[in-house]
A and B are shown apart, each in its own frame.
Chain A
Amino acid sequence: MTVSPARARLRATLVDARVLVPTDAPGVYGRSAGFESVVEGLEGLVLRAGADRPVESVRFPPVLPRTVFEASGYLESFPDLIGSVHTFAGDEASHAALLAAVESGESWTDGLVPADVMLCPAVCHPLYPTCAGTLPAGGRRVEVSGWCFRHEPSEDPFRMQAFRQHDYVALDGPDEARRHRDDWIQRGASLLGRLGLEVEAVAANDPFFGRAGRLLAASQRTQELKLELVARIDDDDPPVALCSANSHLDHFALTFGIATADGEVAHTSCFGFGLDRITLALLARHGPDPDRWPAAVRSALWP
């Protein structure tokens, strides 16, 4: 995948400054202590932005059960983005054959078998099956944060294969779930504004697979089920989504059996902060050394 000159320059600047440490896999990076301190500052800022209302917190590892993955509908919509975990379950003879294949540079993965987990494609997906049953009156608000994987190898630093999201999720009635999402769009835009990032809320669609996906994408846009907060990073590229606000309607609630207190099928929505993307946008806007960022940005991140 080709990358614009501006993105190539940004990548070179961050790699030269050892802020990003490239690996053999495109879009898979080590991060410097400085980069991580920005992510930690963002996590704190995001938590403070939601601290005026009660919210549950849960952290899942970056894998989710294969059963949950199968039920989620992700495979129908994004087969090209998935990450499946495989392992070895053979005997000593097949182990020797596997090592011999590696040694001779042949394909060695044919003998692997699927493990019972997949890489997590979206940080909120492991949450929904754990909320099966009847919600309390007033629904539930849950914040989740963690690593996601999407198979999109690229030299564009804004398109990583492994990245972090911090999500605020609502499980509630249809109107409440929609309000949660729309309220967080305002909160998210204001948070990013404090960091010197001007954003615009735009209707968006997920990269659904194939021709059928075009219909799904068009449908998602028409219904404004997905909005993104986008920022212009450079003049070579379209604006980059830093936050994503999603109405799932009753998709996850029907799939995993989640009902409101009055017995109706619940609706869910989420608002996600792209922690690595926001950090990259800050590095692009204010320079590769966070110690030299504007005082207002620094005090917002590290009060």
Chain B
Amino acid sequence: MADVEERIRAVLAAHARMPGGVEALDDTADLYAAGMTSHASVNVMLAIEDEFDVEFPERLLRKDTFASVSAIRIALEELLGA
């Protein structure tokens, strides 16, 4: 899953607009606490869908789904059937 994590981090670097960036954050760090706004999380969601060619179902369209690198990875694993 290393590759998946790298791709998630690339999406976050491009779209999460966190003042301190994503590099310094570990996988479980709270992205909202790091400054990602709700509107930025929407762009992250759309970019993740694009990057991995998936569509988040309604039940995953929650704040928690995008709260950390590992939360996004867990949601993706489920969608990709990994």
Q: Please determine whether A216 and B58 come into contact, CB atoms closer than 8 angstroms.
A: no
Q: Which of B8-16, B18-26, B38-46 lines the interface with chain A?
A: B38-46
Q: Which residue of B lies closest to A250 (CB)?
A: B37
Query: A50 vs B39: C-alpha distance in the bound complex, in angstroms?
Result: 33
Chain B, interface residues (CB within 8 Å), range:
10 to 19
Q: Which residue of B lies closest to A212 (CB)?
A: B42
**Cβ-neighbour of B63 out of A73, A76, A211, A219 (below 8 A):** A219
**Cβ-neighbour of A219 out of B38, B46, B56, B58 (below 8 A):** B38
Q: Please determine whether A222 and B39 come into contact, CB atoms closer than 8 angstroms.
A: no
Residues of A within 8 A of B38 (CB): 215-216, 219-220
Residues of B within 8 A of A212 (CB): 42, 45-46
Q: Please determine whether A222 and B62 come into contact, CB atoms closer than 8 angstroms.
A: yes
Query: A264 vs B74: C-alpha distance in the bound complex, in angstroms?
Result: 37
**Cβ-neighbour of B39 out of A214, A216, A218, A223 (below 8 A):** A216
Q: Please determine whether A216 and B42 come into contact, CB atoms closer than 8 angstroms.
A: yes
Q: Please determine whether B42 and A222 come into contact, CB atoms closer than 8 angstroms.
A: no
Count residues of A near B (Cβ-Cβ below 8 Å). 12
Q: CB-CB contacts of B24-66 with A at 8 A, as 1s and 0s?
A: 0000000000000011011001100000000010100111001
Q: Please determine whether A215 and B58 come into contact, CB atoms closer than 8 angstroms.
A: no
Query: A43 vs B41: C-alpha distance in the bound complex, in angstroms?
Result: 39
Query: A142 vs B81: C-alpha distance in the bound complex, in angstroms?
Result: 53
Query: A212 vs B42: C-alpha distance in the bound complex, in angstroms?
Result: 6
Query: A215 vs B42: C-alpha distance in the bound complex, in angstroms?
Result: 7
Residues of B within 8 A of A215 (CB): 38, 41-42, 45, 61-63, 66
Interface positions of A from 55 to 78, Cβ below 8 Å from B: 73, 76
Residues of B within 8 A of A218 (CB): 61-63
Residue among B38, B58, B61 having the largest count of chain A Cβ atoms under 10 Å: B38
Query: A130 vs B40: C-alpha distance in the bound complex, in angstroms?
Result: 26
Q: Which residue of B lies closest to A221 (CB)?
A: B63
Q: Which residue of A lies closest to B62 (CB)?
A: A218
Q: B19 to nearest A CB, angstroms?
A: 12
Q: Which residue of B lies closest to A210 (CB)?
A: B42
Q: Which residue of A lies closest to B58 (CB)?
A: A214
Residues of A within 8 A of B62 (CB): 215, 218-219, 222
Q: Which residue of B lies closest to A217 (CB)?
A: B61
Interface positions of A from 218 to 233, Cβ below 8 Å from B: 218-220, 222-223
In the complex, 25 of the A-B residue pairs with CB atoms within 8 angstroms, ordered by the A residue number, are A73-B39, A76-B39, A211-B61, A212-B42, A212-B45, A212-B46, A214-B58, A215-B38, A215-B41, A215-B42, A215-B45, A215-B61, A215-B63, A215-B66, A216-B38, A216-B39, A218-B61, A218-B62, A218-B63, A219-B41, A219-B62, A219-B63, A220-B38, A222-B62, A222-B63
Beyond A214-B61, A215-B42, A218-B61, 18 additional pairs, beta carbon < 8 A: A76-B39, A211-B56, A211-B61, A212-B45, A212-B46, A214-B58, A215-B62, A215-B63, A216-B38, A216-B39, A216-B42, A219-B38, A219-B41, A219-B62, A219-B63, A222-B62, A222-B63, A223-B63
